[in-house]
A and B are shown apart, each in its own frame.
Chain A
Amino acid sequence: MKRFVPSSELVVRASRGEIPAISRLITRAEMGLDECRPALAEIYRKAGKAHVIGITGVPGSGKSTLVANLAAQLRRRNKKVAIIAVDPSSPYSGGSILGDRIRMTELASDPGVYIRSMATRGAVGGMARSTLDAVDILDVGGFDTIIIETVGVGQDEVEIAKASHTTVVVSAPGLGDEIQAIKAGMLEIADIHVVSKCDRSDSNKLVVDLKQMLTLGLASKDPKDWLPTVIGVSSYNGTGIDELATEIERHRAASLATGRAHQRELAIASFRLEKTAETLLIERFLKTLEPLRPALASTLCKRERDPYSAANELVSNALPQSIDQTEQAARAWTRRR
């Protein structure tokens, strides 16, 4: 990329599918500068065509290797595939080693595949703050299938399901207490379950256990609902990759046919709104807090003040209106509609 290309210009180039412009826009989104806000707004209006597939599972379950195989399969089906691989940042240094790309080397030099690594940078939920901006940018850039890989260990990392049209949960044999990991909130979010490393003899038990758990959950399901399936795959010998690609396409088609896709789009939009508001509030709050932090911490430490009242005062200062006024405004706004 040439230096200092304005973001508005980058949108024009990204829309033509120019990779350096797409990449730089993602960087600007990550930086969160005001300069790129109008550009990202334009991107958002233009986006919404791509099929977003979320792939999550515990660390080391074989997600990246699977994503590489799946992407290659989707390429054979003439899809243009972008991959966003999210890894956690180190809580100590804030830095990260983004290790997913190295598992995807066989996709290198295919112009129909784009891979971008992202660090969570302290964001909770398994995704980075700008992951969904990146999805939109890649969508506008002409990628029709976008795969997001996140690390998921349970309850706190299920946001991927609120950001993708099809969610795939990967479980692997041999990592110890597999079912426990699945139970911790991951069972509910899966549209498709994958048991990876099916070249290993201990994978079959996991497939059987998972199917059993899903059958137990069946009673509470509407027959019209999507019923998650379990697919055994091996990235080493190719077992199940084709079946997985077909199942993902079947899920997409079924969602579109039944109107569930629209429900999901609404849920994604609503979640996006909430997360963005949360980021704005936190930023504004931290701006107010930072100059006061040392003095307040000191009074708290001496037990002259309690944390609740101090924080409450800060929050009221950070927001233009008191919470009461905000609630009144929200009620008035709802009535008007």
Chain B
Amino acid sequence: MTQPIRVLLAKVGLDGHDRGVRVVARALRDAGMDVIYSGLHRTPEEVVDAAVQEDVDILGVSLLSGVQMTVFPKIFKLLDQKGVDDLIVVAGGVMPDEDVVELKKMGVREVLLQDVPPKTIVETLTRLVDERGAR
């Protein structure tokens, strides 16, 4: 029995928009994935705890409020403290190109900006899990 890909979608920071995340959640479900949505305004600690408890393949963090350069370092630090090294972290939302470069250096595997169509998101996540292999 193959497991569906498990994804946690998290909103971190102050912005109160989650329409985009909800659309992505439905697209992923329709592609056969199991999707957990964290809700708005989560802290990095809460997000990492949820990702570990749910043992998701992919943690997708969406932010529109420009806090990416403080949030992602915290997330990676917490994952490291917990000894988690096989979680695929992706970012979504809106951010400048230079941040995208920095985030990728930090370990964010893909940055899916707001205009990326759901189909591409599905393909990207599927590829990342394929590349990771069994766990």
Contacts and interface: CB of A to CB of B under 8 A. Distances in A.
Contacts of B54: 23, 101, 115-117
Contacts of B42: 105, 108
B10 to A, nearest CB: 11
A20 B85 CA distance: 11
A102 B39 contact: yes
B35 A97 contact: yes
Q: Name the prevailing secondary structure of the A interface residues.
A: mixed
Contact of B34 (A1, A20, A98, A102): A98
The 3 closest A-B pairs by CB, nearest first: A23-B55, A95-B29, A108-B46
Contact of A115 (B1, B25, B34, B53): B53
B50 interface: yes
Contacts of A27: 3, 6, 55, 135
B83 interface: yes
Contacts of A247: none
Contact of B55 (A24, A32, A90): A24
Interface in A54-102: 89-90, 92-99, 101-102
A109 B44 CA distance: 10
Interface of B: 1-4, 6, 25-26, 28-39, 42-43, 45-46, 49-50, 52-55, 82-86, 134-135
A2 B84 CA distance: 6
Contact of B26 (A97, A114, A115): A97
A30 B35 contact: no
Contacts of B6: 27
Contact of A2 (B35, B36, B53, B85): B85
Contacts of B38: 101-102, 105
Contacts of A89: 4, 34
Nearest to A27: B55
Nearest to B57: A27
B44 to A, nearest CB: 11
A3 B35 contact: no
A37 B72 CA distance: 37
A88 B59 CA distance: 22
A105 B39 contact: yes
Given A96-B34, A108-B46, A115-B50, 17 more contacts: A2-B85, A2-B86, A3-B86, A3-B135, A19-B52, A20-B52, A20-B84, A23-B52, A23-B54, A90-B29, A93-B31, A95-B28, A95-B30, A96-B29, A102-B38, A105-B46, A115-B53
Contacts of B134: 4
B50 A1 contact: no
Contacts of A95: 4, 28-35
A93 B32 contact: yes
A194 interface: no
A119 B34 contact: yes
Contacts of A31: 1-3
Nearest to A24: B55
Contact of B82 (A4, A20, A102): A20
5 contacts: A89-B34, A94-B32, A108-B46, A109-B43, A109-B49
Contacts of B43: 109
A26 interface: yes
A121 B3 CA distance: 9
A104 to B, nearest CB: 10
Given A27-B3, A101-B38, A1 B29 contact: no
Contacts of B28: 95
A94 B34 CA distance: 8
A109 B30 contact: no
Contacts of A108: 42, 45-46, 49-50
A4 B46 contact: no
A85 to B, nearest CB: 10
B50 A101 contact: yes
B29 A114 contact: no
B53 A97 contact: no
A98 B29 CA distance: 10
Contacts of A105: 38-39, 42, 46
